[in-house]
Chains A and B, each alone.
Chain A
Amino acid sequence: MKIVIVDYGMGNVRSIVGALNYIGQEDVLVSNQFEDLNNADRLILPGVGNFSQAMRRIIDLELDKKLVDLVVGNNKSILGICLGMQLLGRASTEGELNFGLGIIDGRVERFEVEGLKVPHVGYNQVIFNEMSRLYKGLSTGPDFYFTHSFRMLSDSSIGASTCQYGGAFVASFELENVAGVQFHPELSQDNGLQLLRNFVELFEC
């Protein structure tokens, strides 16, 4: 199993590599070379930070169209994490260059609720559908680590799980070969390790 973490220079990918190694995945590469991405069995799109800066870097590396081709055209399995999850959506209100990759019908907006502490930081419970592959083997309302000021909302059926913080937002989505999680599985102890294991085992290309 070849897993490639898409490298566009945003965030700490060491802990993702560490978590994948821990669950027995040794063939993990951090790369932005098309050949590597094309040869991968699973892609992971990580990221923390600013949405438009991230899109700018992805476009500068000419990865935007290639990622869409691989995931939509070739059914390559991908997991977006945190900002990486948001980038799979259509658009964000964060920054100037705010069109995402548009693979998932979701929009990204800032938490704007009176009296709500922002960013949303800490472990919070996720409500998932029992058909979900991502949460297989986990008990009801598992805790995952969130840290973000913007969150995804969607009116479409994208296999979403939800989390409550000033109202419900998309904690994760899963459609065939495409999954995204707003939280950090690599920073969520046993629960996160299980989720990564599920992505690796249950999201065939």
Chain B
Amino acid sequence: MLRDRLIFGLIYNNGAFMQSRNFRLQRVGDINWLEKNYKFQKISFSIDELVVVDASRNDKNIEVFASTVRRLVEKVFVPVAAGGGIKKVSDAETLFLNGADKVVINSALYRDPDLVKQIIDRYGSQSLVASVDYKMSEGECCVYIDDGSTLIEASLLEYLSYVESLGVGEILLNSIDKDGTGFGYDLDIVSQYCSGLNVPLILMGGAGKESHLLDGMKLPEVSAVATANLFNFIGNGLPNAREFMLSSGANLANWNPGCR
């Protein structure tokens, strides 16, 4: 049976890892902090996938970011998706060469669909995760690009269908309103906007505790739930969350830890 996935997200900004709240970034620590507080190579056995996003607001340096990804993913044996600021095929290639299995594309979905198609032609649709950020405004569901700073003229429904038509492999849907709040996912949006999707959906934004992850996973439209909440899942947070979810009957993969 195809399993649901628990994904851990990391938000990177000019050499540091961040806690994001409504897309405002707060510095938490550098890679040394991360390795100390998350014992990364250990807890990576509790997650099904890792997403690392460069959210640096100005000049994103893909080379420096890629070298951080490279260090991060050593001895990590789950798929790694990385992105943020990809403007040309060679940017994607840089990430693939440094340990990414997939790239995450957001603004280029809107600004440069040809780039999206070129990456898919070369690396396959499964190699591209489309990231879509949205926020409620006067009862309307509005789509934003450029790290949540630019509103685009398309309804969420139209935009999701457009993104799917580009041939992307997965869609990562993130609520700017719920981001980092720890209040739980925006569950209503999923049944309203995502039931027609034919690609796997990753839900992100708002998970603050184990039961939130489970709530998201229960929705039939959702293939994976993601959290980038560095504060709420610190230490043994992720191993504990996985254990809780498995004991609550979540459809997650089982490992044979004896084989490590």
Contact = CB atoms under 8 A, between A and B. Distances in A.
Interface of A: 11-12, 14-15, 18-19, 22, 48-50, 53, 117-125, 137-139, 142-143, 145, 147-149, 164-165, 184, 186-194, 197
Interface string B83-113: 0000000000000111111100000000000
A12 B99 contact: yes
Given A48-B124, A186-B77, A187-B78, A123 B99 contact: no
B101 A190 contact: no
B224 interface: yes
B223 A15 contact: no
Given A121-B223, A187-B79, A187-B101, A49 B255 contact: no
B260 A122 contact: no
B38 interface: no
Contact of A12 (B100, B121, B224): B100
A143 B198 CA distance: 23
A142 B256 contact: yes
Contact of B256 (A124, A139, A165): A139
27 contacts: A12-B96, A14-B73, A14-B97, A15-B99, A18-B73, A18-B74, A19-B77, A49-B123, A50-B122, A50-B124, A53-B122, A117-B223, A119-B126, A120-B2, A122-B2, A122-B4, A122-B5, A138-B256, A143-B254, A147-B102, A149-B126, A164-B1, A187-B78, A189-B45, A190-B256, A190-B257, A193-B260
Given A12-B101, A192-B77, A123 B5 contact: yes
Contacts of B123: 11, 48-49
A147 B169 contact: yes
B199 A22 contact: no
Interface string B146-176: 0000000000000000000000011000000
Contact of A189 (B77, B121, B127): B77
Interface footprint category on B: 35 or more
Given A117-B198, A149-B125, 9 more contacts: A14-B97, A48-B124, A118-B198, A120-B2, A121-B170, A122-B4, A143-B253, A143-B255, A193-B260
B255 A145 contact: no
Given A48-B124, A119-B126, A147-B79, A190 B198 contact: no
Contacts of A193: 77, 259-260
A8 B43 CA distance: 33
A117 B126 contact: no
B259 A125 contact: no
A53 to B, nearest CB: 7
A148 B124 CA distance: 9
Best-surrounded residue of B121, B123, B223, B224 (most CB of chain A within 10 A): B123
Interface string B43-61: 0010010000000000000
Contact of B3 (A53, A143, A186, A191): A143
Contact of B77 (A117, A123, A188): A188
Contacts of B254: 139, 142-143
A14 B255 contact: no
Contacts of B1: 124-125, 164
Nearest to B47: A189
Contact of B259 (A14, A53, A137, A145): A137
Contacts of A143: 3, 253-255
A18 B75 contact: yes
B29 interface: no
A139 B196 CA distance: 36
B126 A147 contact: yes
B102 to A, nearest CB: 8
B15 interface: no
A189 to B, nearest CB: 5
A48 B78 CA distance: 16
Contacts of B70: 14
Contacts of A49: 122-124, 127
Contacts of B99: 12, 14-15, 18
A66 B194 CA distance: 48
Nearest to B102: A147
A57 to B, nearest CB: 11
Given A49-B122, A147-B126, A165-B2, A15 B77 contact: yes
